[in-house]
Chain A
Amino acid sequence: MASKATPDNGSWMGSRLPRREDLRLVTGQGKYISDIVLPRMAHAVFVRSDYAHAKIVSIDTSAALALPGVISVTTGADIVDEMRSMPQPVLLPNLPAKYPTFYPLSVDKVKFHGAPVALVIARDKYTAEDAVELVEVEYEELPAVVDPNAALEPGAPLVNEDHPDNEIFSMTFTGGETQAEQDENDKAVEEIFNSADAVIKETFRVHRTGLTPMEPRGVLCDWSESDGLTAWITTQRPHIDRLALVDLLDIPAERVRVIAPRDQGGAFGIKAPFYRENVIIAHMARKLGQPVRWIESRYESLMNVGQERDQINTLEVAATKDGKLLALRNRGVADNGTGETGVYWGFLMPFLGAHEIPNTYTWDKADIKLRVAVTNKACLTPSRAFGHFPTRFAIERGIDIIAHKIGMEPADVRRKNLIPELPYTSVTGGYYDSGDFLKVWDNLMSHVDLANFREEQAKARESGRYIGIGFGTGVELSGMASEVLVPMENQPGYGAASIRLDPRGTVQIFGGDAPGGQGHETSVAQVVASAFGIKPEDTLTTTGDTATTPFGAGTIGARGASYFMSAVHNACVELKNKIVRILAHDLGISAQPDDFEFSNGEVVLRSDSSVKKTFREIVERIIMHPINMPDGEVGGLEATVFFEAAKPMICFNADLCIVDVNIDNGEFKITRWVSSEDVGNVINPLIVDGQMQGAIAQGLSNTMFEEFIYDDQGQQLTADFENYKIATAADLPNIDVTYAPTPCPHTPMGTRGIGEGRPSSVPGALCNAICDALKPFGIEITELPVRPNAIWKKIQEARS
């Protein structure tokens, strides 16, 4: 993209404007949750379970309570009569599932290693940590359920005893609503498989991994008898958290204010659920009558959150001998963990993953079924590429495996089967609104000479060097329409923004979503400055405070440029129309909104540029001097606008990866990575580049390094960054992000929400490249993470 530091034709849209957030962040002036300090603030530290599954026999808190500086020690038994249990309706999806009942602290038994057992509150954190060591918990160990397939066996020990078995959720995604329709569909799929030229069947395992924001979670609560609760929470959805606190703690709704700090150190989905820690900290602030703060340690974070993926998908693909994909069948099993997390409950991610298996390809028929098992592990929490990282790995590998089987170039199989025209409804009912998949694909392929690469590859093999090329594609959500989000999460999908013009000609913007580093303040400034013809620095955006912002479901699912920015834009249009009506009245002319141009701080009549007012003059007139107004018009310039798209929207991307594999030790090096993106019309290319770079790197780190490991007793062995390895700068390649955009027809600016699902095409592309390099050995990778030792082992097996 061309670099533009100044506006083009008065518009800041598409400008590579350096971010407004940065000045405070590069000078250490950011205000994250752990930087907020209140008078008399006490510090909370949790006592967490040493066992994966055990009865709590007794808890002796006396020694901890006797330590000077300790204010309280609370156990599960202490709170069951003081608050409602989860779930509450606001935290429940509209999907039938065996939702566990639970409290913020474990009651009677612990269900995973790291589960909260007691809460110590002390005057300072050092004392609180000392006191945690003095809490004596006696456990009686129960058999731990650590394997999802074993969990689903009849007679398996129960994780959640309020339900008859460990299957929290199951679903058939294809064929229709009724059993008869589904059976008929399954039969039709079977017939295709029976008569197809080529079929493949593989089981793909994706390990437990996810994302770990550099800032762990935190909660700070303050209680006032007159005003109620103020809760600062690291969260992507402050308005939902507020309703949950209202319902769980029985506080009148108007007396709960949730503030997501303006600076949050990354989120990626981890800060989207409603967590049990929020409830107990709020409760204790109320009970003690003093502010209480909990800042999660990295150890706690890695024990409790950021764990996703963790699916086993047995995939079958049927195709013709010339590479036309016919049908797919998938049986997924997901390891849910306990299910004790509000909003998502663990299974919502594999649910969406199964729904997204067909991906960017056309299929005549599909048969897709999913079973999700609760286990004695931390509950899955959403992580960017929500649920479909494992299913995309399966389908993108599946495409290459069938291509190998029929002897076709994998790139050709992809192009032949990409959805050629949109809108399109997938075999699972997913609605893809717009875009041009072939254009994005062809742009990707224009960055490599494939025929030449194949020659080079053949020559390299002769000299004992193994290079390979791999591809992956992904169709991702661009925000979530209410049509999708109401059934899925029981929440509205609309975007919301309030705009307040100041008599001084500047603009305040209020958004209910809560970003975690995506640069909303800059993008909003560009949208507003373009709309009013003012400078980005003449705007200020507030997000995340439920007392001042309109209701929003949160910064989730790539809702920024799709929903929130569209609401911002439409609110600006509403106010511009009012300005034009009053200005035309003052001038004694009749005019339509488009007859005036807002640019360079002026409102100018297009047909006669001598007829104009400064933006500040006309704004000040309407707010401060609302006399001599047109009939029916009153003063003031503020608007709250809700944006709902007519249809669910998507964005599309494709990846190309070239690797060099050392067959002597299995080590591989990514020598090239190119992406091609349909991001619609772009507000700030710098920010979009950053989102793509980051998402692809996250996908690579998940694929190659990160892994949460539990032993067969359910002990979590990876609760620090020494053992849970995240990619460093030296581990990753340079990434070329390229674009082939198509404006979205369903947003007012043609923008698409981007970045959320972006890591999902990465594991397929990388593993396809490695398998392509090792094609002479016939190696097919079906398991992640992909590490040199596993590749070396496969080479040894193939050689013997």
Chain B
Amino acid sequence: MKNIRVNINGVAYQETVPVRMLLVDFIRETAALTGTHVSCTYEGVCGACTIHLDGEAVKSCLMLAVQADGHEITTVEGLANGKELSALQQAFNDQHGLQCGFCTAGILMNMTEFLDKNPDPTDDEIRHGLVGNLCRCTGYVHIVNAVRAAAKSRLSEA
């Protein structure tokens, strides 16, 4: 067991956790933030558990909770500004970029970072940016549309 301090979406958590506890379990079970999902067998392939660690998109199933000690985490619950959705969240709604929604949190986290780094991407760049996230419902076309629309909307606001 180890004592850790982690800040998630602006809230500080000080907890004693088993060393082997995965970060995704800490987020889902200890912090009870269930918007972050698990779809593969903790192998980092599906991308549903993607979060931001100090602003960088990482897969929380590939980290231990103790490795997050002293770090800042943002999950999908922390993306909106109060009740105001982020441009990307809004675009997913407008463009029907999700169906079952199970992969969506991970995609939003990944593509938020992607758009921060590449504010005006081509479709090909968007598609390659998405390879770390599997989606089974949409066929990705509406997801690409949503990311493109969000990029446009972010650029017009900037």
A: residues with CB less than 8 A from B are 18-19, 21-23, 25-32, 34-35, 37, 126, 211-216, 263-268, 297-299, 516-519, 686-687, 689-690, 693-698, 720-722, 726, 728-730, 732, 734-735
Contact = CB atoms under 8 A, between A and B. Distances in A.
A385 to B, nearest CB: 14
Contacts of A517: 98-102, 137
A298 B89 CA distance: 27
B20 interface: yes
Given A215-B39, A518-B99, A519-B99, A23 B34 contact: no
B108 interface: yes
Contact of B136 (A22, A214, A696): A214
A266 B135 CA distance: 10
Nearest to B130: A729
Interface centre among B103, B137, B140 (most CB of A within 10 A): B137
Contact of B131 (A29, A697, A728): A728
Given A216-B39, A689-B142, A726 B34 contact: no
B34 A732 contact: no
Interface string B110-141: 00000000000001001110110111111111
Contacts of A214: 37, 39, 46, 48, 100, 102-103, 134-137
A307 to B, nearest CB: 15
A265 B34 CA distance: 13
Contacts of A696: 139
Contact of A730 (B34, B131, B137, B143): B131
Interface in B16-54: 18, 20-21, 28, 32-41, 43, 45-46, 48
Interface centre among A19, A265, A689, A720 (most CB of B within 10 A): A265
A27 B89 CA distance: 8
Contacts of A23: 85, 93
Nearest to A685: B96
B151 interface: no
Contacts of B77: 27-29
Contacts of A735: 139, 141
Given A22-B98, A25-B98, A214-B135, A697 B41 contact: no
Contacts of B99: 266, 517-519, 690, 694
B43 A720 contact: yes
A30 B101 contact: yes
Contacts of B92: 22, 26
Nearest to B45: A721
A209 to B, nearest CB: 13
Contacts of B128: 729-730
A325 to B, nearest CB: 32
A567 B96 CA distance: 26
A26 B126 contact: no
A265 B141 contact: no
Contacts of A519: 99
Secondary structure of the B contact surface, majority rule = loop
Q: Which 8 A-B pairs have the closest CB atoms?
A: A28-B35, A697-B139, A517-B100, A265-B102, A25-B101, A729-B130, A28-B76, A517-B99
17 contacts: A25-B98, A26-B76, A26-B98, A29-B77, A32-B37, A265-B100, A266-B137, A268-B136, A517-B99, A517-B101, A694-B137, A697-B139, A721-B46, A726-B134, A728-B130, A730-B130, A735-B141
Contacts of A215: 37, 39, 100, 102
Contacts of A34: 28, 34, 37-38
A268 B135 CA distance: 13
Interface of B: 18, 20-21, 28, 32-41, 43, 45-46, 48, 75-77, 79-80, 85, 89, 92-94, 96, 98-105, 108, 123, 126-128, 130-131, 133-144
B66 to A, nearest CB: 14
Interface centre among A32, A266, A519 (most CB of B within 10 A): A266
B96 A686 contact: yes
Nearest to A295: B38
Contacts of B39: 214-216, 265, 298
Contacts of B40: 298, 720-721
A721 B137 contact: no
Nearest to A737: B141
B22 to A, nearest CB: 9
Contacts of B104: 25-26
B53 to A, nearest CB: 17
B93 A18 contact: yes
Given A26-B85, A690-B96, A720 B138 contact: no
Contacts of A720: 40-41, 43, 45
Nearest to A516: B100
B130 A265 contact: no
A347 B77 CA distance: 44
A25 B21 CA distance: 26
A384 B38 CA distance: 23
Contacts of B123: 734
B133 to A, nearest CB: 8
B89 to A, nearest CB: 4
A518 B135 CA distance: 14
A170 to B, nearest CB: 33
Contact of B100 (A27, A213, A216, A722): A213
Nearest to A686: B96
A686 B123 CA distance: 20
A695 B138 CA distance: 8
Contacts of B136: 211-214, 266, 268, 694, 698, 726
B131 to A, nearest CB: 4
A26 B21 CA distance: 26
Contacts of A37: 32
Contacts of A722: 43, 45
Nearest to A522: B96
A30 B105 CA distance: 10
Contacts of B37: 32, 34, 214-215, 265
B105 A28 contact: yes
A516 B143 CA distance: 18
